[in-house]
A and B are shown apart, each in its own frame.
Chain A
Amino acid sequence: MNNTKTSPGLLVKFGKNWVVFFLIVLCVLFSFIGKGFFANNTINNILLSSSPALLLAVGETFVIVSGGIDLSIGFVRGMVAVISAIVMRDLYAMGYSAFLSILAGIVIGLLAGLLPGLLSGMLIAKFKVPPFIATLGMYGISNGIAYGLCSGFPIINVPQEAGRLGNGHIHYYFSGLGFSLFNRPPGMLDSQLRNLVRIFPNSILISGLIITVFGYILARTRFGQHTYAIGGNIDAARRAGINVDWHLVKIYVISSFFAALSGVLSVLIFSNGSHTQFSASLELFAVAAVVIGGASLSGGKGSIRGSFLGVLILSVLEVGFLMAGIFAFYRYIAVGSILVLAVIIEQTFPELIYD
């Protein structure tokens, strides 16, 4: 019993960072069962497949830290993708330049995406509608609007340049032709595409920038501090003079904005505006990532760094299982188990105490 002073300290440190260890273990595991897990293409795949989820998870982190939940983001993403693609397609068909059509599509899509957040925020702050219900309402409404606009089919015929923008990479390597930034190495033939090494997709550049900025906002600024305070004790926040209602509206607008951004990016990546009923699984994926990253659904806990690691774990699982040739249903089981495990680990490890 004499050692009780040091051993809990180490344990606590492990408990706080178990996600990092777990991520490393997963990577090692997959490098054994799957061939070429550490190849450039795999890393590229993980980054690509995680970038939309990453955006949704950043917004969801703010909401969950404030003690709420946003269930609408998957369908808001779909709705924005459809609206944005329709604007691009129609303007382009009317004879406007590709640049102008794409720009208008992006801007209108993002603006339309702010509305659901504004509405849920006001419902939650002013009319005291529980976040679960308010955002479930927006879930239904945005699903309906998107479905009405696209009748279940992807919006196609957007300008080709959209796809080039979305699928571009920060840098390329082609043996014999060397490195190049943003564009394929000059003199390369389309038939040689398979040998082209692409490392960081442009969408990661955007996601990376946003994670850094919003991670900073949540961790270091007054806005972030108030978000934690509201999640911890909303009455205390009110009595401390924080404008809680307005703050909540802002938080749901942020969440909605990230859903919109993710929708716009999906148009640029896939060159179409797609909305399916599967979009709804995206918000649950985001909530799962945020919770694996250490947030609590009762509010006041969580971080962008944690959510980022949570998203990476889910992406590594997806890509790793795929490469190892394991059936998809095992992945769903794995994700479910890890989610529950994460909550148990969070609750088992004691709080860090300063002397």
Chain B
Amino acid sequence: MIEERKPILEVKNIVKRFGGLVAVNGVSMEVYPGEVVGLLGDNGAGKSTLIKVVSGVYHQDEGQVFFKGQEVKINNPMDAINLGIETIYQDLALAENLNVYSNIFLGREKLKKALGCIDVLDHKYMLTESKKVLDRLGIEIPSLKNRIKMLSGGQRQSVAISRSIFWNAKFLIMDEPTAALGVAEQRKVLDLVRTLSAQGVAVIIISHQLYDVFQVAHRLVILRRGEKVGELMTRETNPDEVVSLIVGAELVENSKK
């Protein structure tokens, strides 16, 4: 069913070098609307570098990026965000001293006029609108007036996700979303990824936790030493096969001889 649609993101032959080191070497992949893609690979395989090219942190040395069918030049993170590509890093980028709705609106605060001429923060508007987006995603947080400091890891992750969804992200990149969470919280975040997918948001998940990725991803892309070594539908594969691709099992066999 997915093949009939046009990809929302397509990268072609991306090469990124750091001095003499080739971090990403000619990788192509595409992601369709509503699809969850697991990007897998060992440390230093080039996952993060590839993702940073898409999110505007790095600029590729060779290759092209297409978004919604058009070639795009993403020079900085704001370019990516303006296109609708949001990246949620492991550190989440939330201001812990501010409350939930202030974080959702951070940098894009809603203002109202006080005394007819002074721009002040419209807390009521921001609170109700934030509540709406959290409800839409089925996220439960006791009160949006609580500071981020008081929330659990999973709730913080949910706030970071709601924040990007509120600003109309069509494409979400998540870097190790479940790494620091307890089991129950991991499940909630994975449920949230499914909800996003059902609402048409495309998601790339980078994770070391194969079990999590197998639960939510439709498709898996495996990198090793900067090159794409495998692309599999999750239904048609198993963790053993994926692990052997990640570590390069044929190399192990070769060395035995």
Interface residues of A (CB under 8 A from B): 216, 220-222, 225-226, 228-229, 231-233, 235-237, 239-242, 299-301, 351, 353-355
Q: How many A-B residue pairs have CB under 8 A?
A: 76
Contacts of B103 in A (CB 8 A): 236
| A240 vs B109: C-alpha distance when bound (angstroms) | 11
Contacts of B77 in A (CB 8 A): 239
The answer on a CB contact under 8 Å between B96 and A233 is yes
Given A222-B121, A228-B97, A233-B96: A241 and B107 within 8 A (CB)?
Answer: yes
| A221 vs B117: C-alpha distance when bound (angstroms) | 12
CB contact between A241 and one of B98, B108, B120, B149 (< 8 Å): that residue? B108
Assuming A233-B93, A236-B93, what are 8 further A-B pairs, CB within 8 angstroms?
Answer: A220-B114, A225-B121, A228-B97, A229-B106, A235-B93, A237-B107, A351-B147, A353-B142
| A236 vs B90: C-alpha distance when bound (angstroms) | 12
The answer on a CB contact under 8 Å between B97 and A232 is yes
A305 CB to closest chain B CB (Å) equals: 17
Given A222-B109, A225-B109: A300 and B121 within 8 A (CB)?
Answer: no
| A225 vs B91: C-alpha distance when bound (angstroms) | 21
The answer on a CB contact under 8 Å between B114 and A300 is no
Interface residues of B (CB under 8 A from A): 77-78, 81, 91-98, 102-103, 106-109, 111, 114, 118-121, 142-143, 145-147, 149-150
| A252 vs B97: C-alpha distance when bound (angstroms) | 21
B23 CB to closest chain A CB (Å) equals: 22
Listed from nearest, the 8 A-B pairs whose CB atoms lie closest are: A240-B107, A300-B97, A232-B95, A354-B143, A232-B97, A236-B93, A240-B106, A241-B107
CB contact between B97 and one of A221, A231, A353, A355 (< 8 Å): that residue? A231
Given A225-B121, A237-B106, A241-B81: A353 and B95 within 8 A (CB)?
Answer: no
The answer on a CB contact under 8 Å between B93 and A353 is no
CB contact between A353 and one of B94, B106, B120, B146 (< 8 Å): that residue? B146
The answer on a CB contact under 8 Å between B150 and A353 is yes
Closest partner residue, chain B, to A222 (CB atom) = B109
Given A220-B114, A225-B102, A241-B81: A354 and B146 within 8 A (CB)?
Answer: yes
Contacts of A240 in B (CB 8 A): 93, 106-108
Among B92, B95, B147, find the residue whose CB has the most chain A CB atoms closer than 10 A: B95
| A354 vs B146: C-alpha distance when bound (angstroms) | 6
The answer on a CB contact under 8 Å between A220 and B121 is yes
Contacts of B92 in A (CB 8 A): 236
| A39 vs B107: C-alpha distance when bound (angstroms) | 50
Report 28 cross-chain contacts, Cβ distance below 8 Å, ordered by A residue.
Answer: A216-B118, A220-B114, A220-B121, A221-B118, A221-B119, A221-B121, A222-B111, A222-B119, A225-B98, A225-B106, A228-B95, A229-B95, A232-B95, A233-B94, A233-B95, A233-B96, A235-B91, A236-B95, A236-B106, A237-B95, A237-B107, A240-B106, A240-B107, A300-B95, A300-B97, A351-B150, A353-B142, A353-B146
| A221 vs B119: C-alpha distance when bound (angstroms) | 7
Among B77, B94, B106, B118, find the residue whose CB has the most chain A CB atoms closer than 10 A: B106
The answer on a CB contact under 8 Å between B108 and A229 is no
B183 CB to closest chain A CB (Å) equals: 24
Contacts of B149 in A (CB 8 A): 351
| A17 vs B64: C-alpha distance when bound (angstroms) | 58
Closest partner residue, chain A, to B107 (CB atom) = A240
The answer on a CB contact under 8 Å between A229 and B98 is yes
Closest partner residue, chain A, to B102 (CB atom) = A225
Contacts of B146 in A (CB 8 A): 353-354
A115 CB to closest chain B CB (Å) equals: 29
The answer on a CB contact under 8 Å between B143 and A355 is yes
Contacts of B94 in A (CB 8 A): 233, 236
| A300 vs B102: C-alpha distance when bound (angstroms) | 13
Contacts of A242 in B (CB 8 A): 106-107
Closest partner residue, chain A, to B144 (CB atom) = A354
Closest partner residue, chain A, to B109 (CB atom) = A222
Closest partner residue, chain A, to B163 (CB atom) = A240
The answer on a CB contact under 8 Å between B120 and A239 is no
Contacts of A239 in B (CB 8 A): 77, 93
Contacts of A220 in B (CB 8 A): 114, 120-121
Closest partner residue, chain B, to A229 (CB atom) = B95
Contacts of B111 in A (CB 8 A): 222
Contacts of B150 in A (CB 8 A): 351, 353
Contacts of A226 in B (CB 8 A): 107
Among A220, A229, A299, A351, find the residue whose CB has the most chain B CB atoms closer than 10 A: A229
Contacts of B145 in A (CB 8 A): 354
The answer on a CB contact under 8 Å between B81 and A232 is no
A151 CB to closest chain B CB (Å) equals: 46
| A317 vs B146: C-alpha distance when bound (angstroms) | 36
Contacts of A299 in B (CB 8 A): 97
Contacts of B81 in A (CB 8 A): 241
